[in-house]
Amino acid sequence: MELVIARPSPYARKIRVALIEKGIPCDITVDNPWLQNPRIQTINPIGKVPALITHSGDIIHDSKVIFEYLEIMFPSPKLIPINGTERITHKQVEAVCDGICDAVVLIAMEGTRPEENQSVAWVDRQTRKIYAGTEEINKRLNGKQSFTSMELGLAEIATVVMLEYLEFRFSEFDWRPQYPTLSKLISQISQRESFLETKPVGQTLPQH
């Protein structure tokens, strides 16, 4: 299998963490979707990383779908609970975390436009999503160290990936003093090999 990623991408990181946690061998191809004619455009019509090319040559994209695919094809260790309520909790947490990352990406891209074309109102709108989303994740964690009875699963992975992405691309949000439970979660999970090996690394963002 081959996974096409970008080094800073939190969506790709979710998948890379899952591959390592499940011990799945997979070639990793580094791409930059923001440059001219990136490889990803030839395999994902939406032009976004990550995309997975399976053993049979099928192409799967959007990180949510890839995560589900890995869970079905490589069920051990489980990263999404089978129980319906717990499963929805993991998916909901993932959706909020991805939404926060979407807002961070949009702010970063706004910063690549000439200053006179940048919209303060747009950046404020995205910033509100980041704050409200983080508040929601903290509420859902409710002082615990996991969202459900599963110790480490999609919800915890998506949360730690999102928090480290905030520290990487939106460091003006000093969330740690405000959210000690999230701070404890990140300090425990981010030391796993799967997280240490996949830390976000910057890439060129061309002017738009």
Cα separation, 70 vs 67, in Å, equals 5
Long-range contacts for 174-180 (Cβ within 8 Å, ≥24 apart)? 175/134, 179/134, 179/138
Shortest Å distance, C-beta 52 to ligand GSH: 10
Shortest Å distance, C-beta 12 to ligand GSH: 7
Contact pick of 97, 105, 130, 157 for ligand GSH (by CB under 6 A): 105
Cα separation, 137 vs 6, in Å, equals 25
C-beta closer to ligand GSH: residue 63 or 138: 63
CA 174 to chain centre: 19
C-beta closer to ligand GSH: residue 60 or 182: 60
62 binding ligand GSH? (CB under 6 A): yes
Contact pick of 1, 3, 4, 9 for ligand GSH (by CB under 6 A): 9
Which amino acid, 201?
Answer: V
Scan residues 21-40 and list those touching ligand GSH (CB under 6 A): 33
Indicate the angle between helix axes 84-110 and 120-141, nearest 10 degrees. Answer: 150
Residues that bind ligand GSH (CB under 6 A): 6, 9, 11, 33, 47-50, 62-64, 98, 105
